[in-house]
Amino acid sequence: MTIPENLLYSKTHEWVEKHGETVRVGITDHAQDSLGDIVFVGLPAVGDRVEIGKSLADVESVKAVAEVYSPVTGVVLSVNDALVSSPELINEDAYAAWLVEIAAESFEDLLDAAAYGKLLEEEG
Amino acid sequence: MYVPQTSDDRRAMLDAIGVKDIRSLYDSVPDSIYLNRPLDLPKGRPEYAVSRMMEAYAENNRRYRAILRGAGAYDRYTPAIVRRVAAKEDFVTAYTPYQAEVSQGVLQSIFEYQTMICALTGMDVSNASVYDGATAAAEACAMCRERGKTGVLISESVHPQVREVVATYVESATGERPTLIPTVGGMTDADALSKLLSTETACVLTQQPNFYGLIEDAEKLADLAHSAGSRYIMSVDPTSLGVMKTPREYGADIAVGDGQPLGLGLSFGGPSLGFMTCVSSLTRRLPGRIVGETVDNEGRRCYVLTLQAREQHIRREKAQSNICSNQALCALTASVYLASMGAEGLRRAACLSMTGARTLLRLLTEIPGITRAFPGEFFDEFVTFVPDSGRISDILEKNNILGGLPLTIDDKPAILWCVTETVSEDVLHRTAQLVRKAVEG
Amino acid sequence: MKLVFERSLPGFVNNYLQDCTIPADFSSVRAQKPSLPEVPESELARHYTTLASQTRGVNGGFYPLGSCTMKYNPAAHEAYAALPGFNVHPLAPPDAVQGCMAVLWDTQRALCEICGMDEFALQPAAGAHGEYAGLLLIRAFHRANGDTVRRNILIPDSAHGTNPASAAMAGFHVVNVPSTSEGLVDLDALRSLANEETAGLMLTNPNTVGLFDRNIEEITRIIHDVGGLCYYDGANLNAVMGIARPGDMGFDVVHVNLHKTFSTPHGGGGPGSGPVGCKAFLRRFLPAGHIIKQSDGSYISETPESSIGRIKLFYGNFLVIVRALAYILTLGSDGLKQASEIAVLNANYLLSKISDLYDVPYPGHCMHEFVISLDRFNKSHNVRALDIAKALIDCGIHPPTMYFPLIVQEALMFEPTETETLATLDEAAEALRSLYRMILEMPEHLQNAPHNTAISRPDETLAARKPHLTFQ
């Protein structure tokens, strides 16, 4: 399982990349591996408000669906349209396949790469 | 009956399990609940005795020689091959095709059904069917529901039972009942509709032909709905699509209806099937089962239940619909009907019905006291005012004809007549004769 | 196999109806005729015979699907459903259809006795539909009492997916109730979750791991004590007919599945029928189209005073109900009880023949079904529940239910039903024992199963990523 050093992580297996007040959110390599082949991504609309801990998007595999929880409170600035036609991009490279870009107002407590690695060990 | 073991078998099984009797297998049932008396039902009977009982039930219903009543259930001709195929025991006794490797027959038949229903309605995608036309309409309204758009507008010219079912479903989901669009001359009032539409309207639902048999100006209704940012749902009669403009041509986003006329017989109302089709952008909002084409790991073409992550067994309380069963055997029946009749057979059924209906309309309106209630283009049902619907129904009953459905329109007695391809011209003349007698006599 | 469209002969017409021209006055004509098949009847006969040969039904072999009750569908029932006297218009006047109404009434009364209920409504077309109707009854009851705070339905985490989905459709919020390590309802958790916001509880008993929860009276009491109602999912009724009745367990509303317990055919996924029953105090909320018997002995349909409304066209899946009534009349009080007893006997027998080899999460006697787990073999040999299920196909046995209930990892749920012989059960046990040996000796063979079918494992990912839902 890869865990890039430059990103932050939530306990529910989302990754967060900060660019000032804008963040990009995706799901981790561990998450995509647990789901299996991803067949569909349900993304929010640009302009939607999102809240820490509430569902931001959902990701479907053949036999399951997983909620993606928002690690920030804010407004959706853009969504990764490429995922609509090619959801498999998340399986191929979970950290390149960002889901949503958000203008963040507040953040939940996020883990660094080392802490996330420890979480995976404990859960495993 | 139907427990194929001997008492020796059972003894051997109890020994293998290590208990002395079957009662011990029920130790977890508390004594306070364990039923200590037989069920208060008669004991079992041999098949012969039951067959006589079932025949007695069946005989205690009137068999008409002709049926002139529609209103959601149509007496149509079903080619013999349809029943033959639908009776094949592998189709009858199969489970839901979750295991694709042993269910290619069922899966392919559903794929064919989906294709045929789309061909009929002009839409892009179909599901594998839902319970009936009324629940299909209700599920279609759920498909259109979004944040900020939950309002449902239904025309008064939609079948009353369909309106009732939609109202039940919509109210339990949103807390609000649908709003009725009034009619004028038996048709949806477009002016009233434009006043009722708002940015909160999720969908507009009308029926084509409508409950009174009339062809609505659906293109206008679709335009009004879309201009207000609402979706347009059309409930259609599948037989009429043998000749009629399709919901797609009228601009509908979703087309639903009841598949009973497609080889399912009257059957006292069930089982039937509800078909649901839509434009491709709404595919993922379709409820229930859907079959898709794919390949196996050796590249062979095959079929599977797909897009399952929409459904209740995966989404649970987050599913848009709780639906699990479809009406598989009924959908198979409908697809055999459509495949055997083809476009030409369906066209003939439609034209024969329309011709017969026009003949009956002419004959009836020649009788003083009987006038057509709503002028306008119609398919195979129409409404006439009558002086006394009870007298007319009675005289037809006595002659073994099921007359049209008695209604009240603007406080006046009326009858909704239907003529299908199964009604001969002789019967139409006889009917007119009898009605004349009832009116004049 | 060819698609029916691939058998079309352009322009071919089967001469079923006489030719006719469209009336000249009609202008709303479709631009193009529908692209339906143009296949000669003889070719259609071949086509559907081919499809049928690629369809596995209960009449083709052992079908131990847990929670589905794939029992034998009696041949006589098809003849009864085809009686011409039942092919009548649902809107014919009541005096013309007393026979049909009698079928409905007699079925209502019989189901009341079997379930310990006071009323039964036959309109729901399937189990999920019955659940929805039953939950609407609960909602109507609380509203009539001015009780608008009750928004929660308590549902065990082991429940079938339709339970929470139905609750959501009926406008409720779902609260999950955890199970104990024995697979039963956690009573302490239930007590802490039940409160003044509880509208009701949905439960099946025996539960989805095949156990009868002996605490059932306490469970229903806990809910009643906070003013909630109890809903019984009748999917597992086949274990307890004539032995235990939901009405005696403290349930207020139930639904039954005629296509499970009452032998009506599954038809490849339907039509089913999911009648909903209730105690007398809920009678006034029943759906429209309810059959009652008048003082002169005749039947009529009515809409109760505070009805939840209509949930289906006309009266329900009538011909399915005909078959279920015939089943009840044929089996009678003694036969129904015997069916349940043998269902439980058969399940325990099959379990006893494989429990030395496979992991049984809930040991001891089961009811009419049992669950095994392949979790250990998944970790040790990479053989999953899916692989064993697919390998059973090669043994001529339809796979059991997979990956349900959710509280068991790599679950397989077996429900033999009472209509299986000892020989069939022995063969099934032997098949499972030989698959066990294969897990140890050649797991790859299982991972690629089935081997003897016309197609092998389909690419479900492709089907979902690139949906191809009609023939172009």
- Residue C161's pLDDT band (cuts 50, 70, 90): confident
- Residue B313's pLDDT band (cuts 50, 70, 90): confident
Give the residues across from C401 on adjacent strands: C413
Q: Are the beta carbons of C343 and C368 closer than 8 angstroms?
A: yes
The CA distances from residue B333 to A50, B92, B259, C37, in Å, are 48, 11, 10, 15
- Residue C162's pLDDT band (cuts 50, 70, 90): confident
The rounded distance, in Å, linking the Cα atoms of C120 and C291 is 9
Residue of B76, B243, B192, B204 lying closest to C24 (CA atoms):
B243
Q: Which chains border C (3 or more CB–CB pairs < 8 Å)?
A: A, B
Sequence-ordered alpha helix ranges (H) in chain A: 29-35, 82-85, 89-92, 113-123
Contact C403 A40 (CB under 8 A): no
pLDDT for the residue numbered B316: 81
- The minimal CB distance from B315 to the residues A39, A62, A65 is found for A65
The CA distances from residue B420 to B357, B381, C314, in Å, are 8, 9, 20
B-chain residues near C211 (CB < 8 A): 28
Of B254-258, B404-408, C329-333, C449-453, the range with the lowest mean pLDDT is C449-453
B-chain residues near A40 (CB < 8 A): 284, 309
Contact C461 A37 (CB under 8 A): yes
Contact B314 A63 (CB under 8 A): yes
Whether residue B111 has pLDDT greater than 80 = yes
Structural domains of chain A ordered from first start: 8-108 (2.40.50.100)
C-chain residues near A88 (CB < 8 A): 465
Residue type, C114: I
Whether residue C458 has pLDDT greater than 90 = yes
Q: Which helix (H) or strand (E) holds B336?
A: helix B328-365
Contact C464 A63 (CB under 8 A): no
Task: Find, in chain A, the residue whose alpha carbon is nearest to that of C464.
Answer: A39
Whether residue A9 has pLDDT greater than 80 = yes
Q: Percent of chain B having pLDDT more than 70? A: 100
- The minimal CB distance from B345 to the residues C13, C54, C211 is found for C13
Whether residue B69 has pLDDT greater than 80 = yes
CA distance B46 to chain C (A): 6
Whether residue B133 has pLDDT greater than 80 = yes
- Mind listing the pLDDT tens digit for each residue in B354-368? 999 999 999 999 999
Burial class (CB in 10 A: 0-12, 13-18, 19+), B25: buried
CA distance C461 to chain A (A): 6
Contact C460 A62 (CB under 8 A): yes
Give the residues across from C255 on adjacent strands: C233, C276
- What are the φ and ψ backbone dihedral angles of C147, each rounded to 5 degrees? -95, 90
- Residue A63's pLDDT band (cuts 50, 70, 90): confident
Instruction: Determine contact: C464 vs chain A, CB below 8 A.
Output: yes
A-chain residues near C461 (CB < 8 A): 37, 39, 62
pLDDT for the residue numbered B361: 98
Mutate: best of C8, C20, C101, partner B, most B CBs <10 A: C20
C-chain residues near B128 (CB < 8 A): 269
- How high does pLDDT run on average in chain C? 96
Q: Which chains border B (3 or more CB–CB pairs < 8 Å)?
A: A, C
Instruction: Determine contact: C403 vs chain A, CB below 8 A.
Output: yes
- Mind listing the pLDDT tens digit for each residue in C42-78? 999 999 999 999 999 999 999 999 999 999 999 999 9
Q: Are the beta carbons of B262 and B272 closer than 8 angstroms?
A: no
The rounded distance, in Å, linking the Cα atoms of B339 and B328 is 16
Please report how many Cα atoms fall inside a 13 Å half-sphere around the Cα of residue C210, on the Cβ side.
36
Please report how many Cα atoms fall inside a 13 Å half-sphere around the Cα of residue B136, on the Cβ side.
29
CATH superfamily of B66-74+342-440: Aspartate Aminotransferase, domain 1 (3.90.1150.10)
**Cβ within 8 Å of A, B 43-102:** none
C-chain residues near B289 (CB < 8 A): 269
Q: Which helix (H) or strand (E) holds A69?
A: strand A65-69
Contact B314 A64 (CB under 8 A): yes
Contact A62 C403 (CB under 8 A): no
CA distance A66 to chain B (A): 9
Give the residues across from B401 on adjacent strands: B66
pLDDT for the residue numbered C406: 83
- Residue A2's pLDDT band (cuts 50, 70, 90): confident
Query: Looking at domain B80-338, which of 2.160.20.10, 3.30.413.10, 3.40.50.2300, 3.40.640.10 is its CATH number?
Result: 3.40.640.10
Contact C318 B294 (CB under 8 A): no
CA C153 to chain centre: 21
C-chain residues near B78 (CB < 8 A): none
CA distance C40 to chain A (A): 38
Contact A63 C461 (CB under 8 A): no
Structural domains of chain C ordered from first start: 4-24+33-55 (no CATH), 76-330 (3.40.640.10), 333-447 (3.90.1150.10)
Neighbours of C196 (CB within 10 A): 11
Which residues of chain A are at the C interface, by a Cβ-Cβ cutoff of 8 Å?
A: 37, 39-40, 60, 62-63, 87-88
- Mind listing the pLDDT tens digit for each residue in B207-245? 999 999 999 999 999 999 999 999 999 999 999 999 999
Q: What is the pTM of this model?
A: 0.96
Region C225-231: what's the mean pLDDT? 97
Instruction: Determine contact: B177 vs chain A, CB below 8 A.
Output: no
Whether residue B283 has pLDDT greater than 90 = yes
3-state secondary structure of B125: strand
- The minimal CB distance from A87 to the residues C403, C460, C465 is found for C465
- What are the φ and ψ backbone dihedral angles of B247, each rounded to 5 degrees? -55, -35
- How high does pLDDT run on average in chain B? 96
- The minimal CB distance from B313 to the residues C161, C339, C463 is found for C161
Instruction: Determine contact: C409 vs chain A, CB below 8 A.
Output: no
- Mind listing the pLDDT tens digit for each residue in B316-354? 888 788 887 789 999 999 999 999 999 999 999 999 999
- Residue C160's pLDDT band (cuts 50, 70, 90): confident
Is 0.85 exceeded by the ipTM? yes
C-chain residues near B295 (CB < 8 A): 458-459, 462
- What are the φ and ψ backbone dihedral angles of C216, each rounded to 5 degrees? -55, -35
Contact C161 B314 (CB under 8 A): yes
CA distance B192 to chain C (A): 24
Q: What are the extents of the domains in chain B?
A: 66-74+342-440, 80-338
Phi-psi region of B421 (alpha: psi -120 to 50; beta: other; left: phi over 0): alpha
Greater confidence, B353 or C179? B353
C-chain residues near A89 (CB < 8 A): none
CA distance C465 to chain A (A): 5
CA distance B435 to chain C (A): 18
- Three-state secondary structure string covering chain A: CCCCCCCEECCCCEEEEEECCEEEEEECHHHHHHHCCEEEEECCCCCCEECCCCEEEEEEECCCEEEEECCEEEEEEEECCHHHHCCCHHHHCCCCCCCEEEEEEEECCCECHHHHHHHHHHHC
B-chain residues near C95 (CB < 8 A): 62
A-chain residues near C462 (CB < 8 A): none
CA distance A69 to chain C (A): 19
Beta strands in C88-206 (DSSP E): 119-121, 152-156, 173-177, 198-203
